[in-house]
Amino acid sequence: MLSSKKTFLKNIYLKTLQSVHPDALFSKYLHLYEGNLYYRNTLINCYSSGRLILAGSGKASLAMAEAFLHFLPKKPDKTLLISPFPNTASHFKVYKGNHPLPAAESINAGKQMLALLDSLHEEDLLLYVLSGGSSSLFEYPVDGISINDIQKATQVFLAQGLSIGEINFLRARLSQVKAGKLAERCKADCQVFVLSDVMGNDISVIGSGPFSAQKSPSYTADTLINKYHLDLFLEPQVIHCLRKNIPLQTKKDIPHYIIGSNIDILESAASILEESGIKTISFPESLFGEANDAGIMIANMLTNYTGSKPICMLFGGETTVTLSSGYGKGGRAQETALSALNKLKNTSGITLLCAGSDGIDGYTDAAGAIVDAVTYQMAKAKGISLEDYLLRHDSYSFHQQCDSLIKTGYSGTNVGDIVMAWAE
């Protein structure tokens, strides 16, 4: 049974998910005036002499497209959406992709997207909805690279703890659909509407930037190969392809409009909590680096806080988990919660909720976890070592045994992670 404080925080979390659902966010950022569409105060051209095409990719693409229909001047002439789900809406053409690793369905989805772009003409208008998850949901390898090569490379990048920027920088060299390559292929006028799960809302990083060229980073492919010893894990043809001096630039400047980000979920949580009379302190873009380190940071901030209580600290962002050999099952939010609990242990008056906004944390069916001193006492009574589960990156198994998992299923949105840390 959840305690009253856990129930309270979980209900706040569920309300914030509703507030960052595409239905709410499109209404927040877009509006119609005299038949014209505006993003805030910017006029969006939704008219053309040719066809109107609605396409998109990502975990939230179906919900985004559904929300977008209310703002379009006419019914789309053609649609193509790439999603983790099979087609459930008869008015959309949907292709299912694989997540979190690209596989056969992702290749087919990538093939279909490329075919759509090749069929467009200059007088057509493409409206594209983009959200996180696109990197794996649709893919098409460059010549000489197989889907197995991309799968293994992605697994290695994640396991070695590369940042999302570093991963995208390298993945783009193996792909025909990333780093602005769709922009180069698209003859039609194009507008991209983005739900951001990336801190700083860098459009070249979100979904691997299919319509946005990569920014020039401070590192090279050789730098990353040497830093993470990638040549020890990847096949020679992959290393050769990564080391090619391929220009990842596009001459096309495709407009991108951010219709939701991690800031939205933090602002919503703060508003809902303060309406309930709870003081909040927000730390935007404070979740980064290793999940274990983030958990320790949050625990230290809670124990060192000397201000008035009750207080709910809000943290936003996305961490990473560098996997060691023999790792278990888990996700970054679940590991953050376990790491914080390991530091807080039996500290009373603290409840911590760590969860993703998409409803899926890592390779699991959980959105995250919620813990307190009772969770620690339950683990101790069962003889469960928090340190052992942290070392094995087996946070899901820990939370499953201690009844601390949060499960929502896919939420229809994707704006990064949130931590709600309650102290009284």
> Is residue 48 located within the same domain as residue 158?
yes
pTM above 0.75, yes or no: yes
Evaluate whether residue 17 is within a structural domain: no
Tokens of 186: 């698209």
**What are the φ/ψ torsions at residue 219 (nearest 5 degrees)?**
-120, 170
- Where do we find the tokens 């909040």? 280
User: What average pLDDT score do residues 72-96 get?
Assistant: 89
> Is residue 267 located within the same domain as residue 338?
yes
> Is residue 253 located within the same domain as residue 307?
no
What's residue 1's pLDDT? 44
Q: What is the 3-state secondary structure (H, E, C) of the chain?
A: CCCHHHHHHHHHHHHHHHHCCHHHHHHHHEEEECCEEEECCEEECCCCCCCEEEEEECCCHHHHHHHHHHHCCCCCCEEEEEECCCCCCCCCCEEECCCCCCCHHHHHHHHHHHHHHHCCCCCCEEEEEEECCHHHHCCCECCCCCHHHHHHHHHHHHHCCCCHHHHHHHHHHHECCCCCHHHHHCCCEEEEEEECCCCCCCCCCHHHCCCCCCCCCCCCHHHHHHHCCHHHCCCHHHHHHHHCCCCCCCCCCCCEEEEECHHHHHHHHHHHHHHCCCEEEEEEEEECCEHHHHHHHHHHHHHHCCCCCCEEEEEEECCECCCCCCCCCCCHHHHHHHHHHHHHCCCCCEEEEEEECCCCCCCCCCCEEEEEHHHHHHHHHCCCCHHHHHHCCCHHHHHHHCCCEECCCCCCCCCCEEEEEEEC
Of 269 and 165, the one with more pLDDT: 269
Q: What percent of the chain has pLDDT over 90?
A: 80
Residue that is last in its domain, among 260, 275, 302: 260
Q: Is the pLDDT of residue 247 over 60?
A: no
Tokens of 110: 């990538």
**pLDDT tens digits, 348-359:** 999 999 999 999
Q: Is the pLDDT of residue 249 over 70?
A: no
**pLDDT tens digits, 368-391:** 999 999 999 999 999 999 999 999
How open is the CA angle 14-19-21, to the nearest 5 degrees? 95
Residue that is last in its domain, among 208, 231, 260: 260
What's residue 99's pLDDT? 87
> Is residue 271 located within the same domain as residue 231?
no
E-strand ranges in 176-273 read 189-195, 256-260
The neighbouring-strand residues paired with 314 are: 282, 420
Evaluate whether residue 343 is within a structural domain: yes
> Is residue 168 located within the same domain as residue 281?
no
User: What average pLDDT score do residues 166-181 get?
Assistant: 90
Q: Is the pLDDT of residue 277 over 70?
A: yes
User: What average pLDDT score do residues 266-282 get?
Assistant: 96
Length of the chain: 424
Q: Is the pLDDT of residue 230 over 70?
A: yes
Evaluate whether residue 361 is within a structural domain: yes
> Is residue 198 located within the same domain as residue 305?
no
> Is residue 274 located within the same domain as residue 256?
no
CA distance linking residue 99 with residue 101, whole number of Å: 5
Q: Is the pLDDT of residue 196 over 80?
A: yes
CATH number at residue 169: 3.40.50.10180
> Is residue 347 located within the same domain as residue 226?
no
> Is residue 183 located within the same domain as residue 123?
yes
What's residue 44's pLDDT? 92
User: What average pLDDT score do residues 165-188 get?
Assistant: 91
Could you tell me if 364 and 404 are in contact, meaning their C-beta atoms sit under 8 angstroms apart? no
Tokens of 64: 């985004």
> Is residue 255 located within the same domain as residue 291?
no
What's residue 324's pLDDT? 74
Evaluate whether residue 348 is within a structural domain: yes
CA distance linking residue 272 with residue 265, whole number of Å: 11
Structure confidence at residue 248 as a pLDDT band (50, 70, 90): low
**pLDDT tens digits, 12-46:** 999 999 999 999 999 999 999 888 899 999 999 88
User: What average pLDDT score do residues 394-413 get?
Assistant: 96
| Residue 327 CB-density burial (10 A; 0-12 exposed, 13-18 middle, 19+ buried) | middle
Evaluate whether residue 40 is within a structural domain: yes
What's residue 2's pLDDT? 61
Residue that is last in its domain, among 234, 260, 286: 260
Tokens of 285: 């873009």
CA distance linking residue 317 with residue 319, whole number of Å: 7
Q: Is the pLDDT of residue 367 over 70?
A: yes
Of 162 and 314, the one with more pLDDT: 314
Could you tell me if 353 and 273 are in contact, meaning their C-beta atoms sit under 8 angstroms apart? no
- Where do we find the tokens 């980000």? 261
Task: Please state, rounded to an integer, the average pLDDT across all residues of the chain.
Answer: 93
Q: Is the pLDDT of residue 246 over 70?
A: no
How open is the CA angle 99-213-73, to the nearest 5 degrees? 75
Structure confidence at residue 142 as a pLDDT band (50, 70, 90): very high
Domain count within the chain:
2
Sorted by sequence, the CB contacts under 8 Å of residue 238 that are 6+ apart come out as: 145, 149, 152, 153, 174
Evaluate whether residue 18 is within a structural domain: no
> Is residue 41 located within the same domain as residue 8?
no
> Is residue 314 located within the same domain as residue 417?
yes
What's residue 366's pLDDT? 96
Q: Which domain holds residue 388?
A: 4-12+262-423
User: What average pLDDT score do residues 141-150 get?
Assistant: 92
Q: Mean pLDDT lowest for which of 82-86, 227-231, 322-326?
A: 322-326
Q: Is the pLDDT of residue 329 over 70?
A: yes
CATH number at residue 372: 3.40.1480.10
Q: What percent of the chain has pLDDT over 70?
A: 97
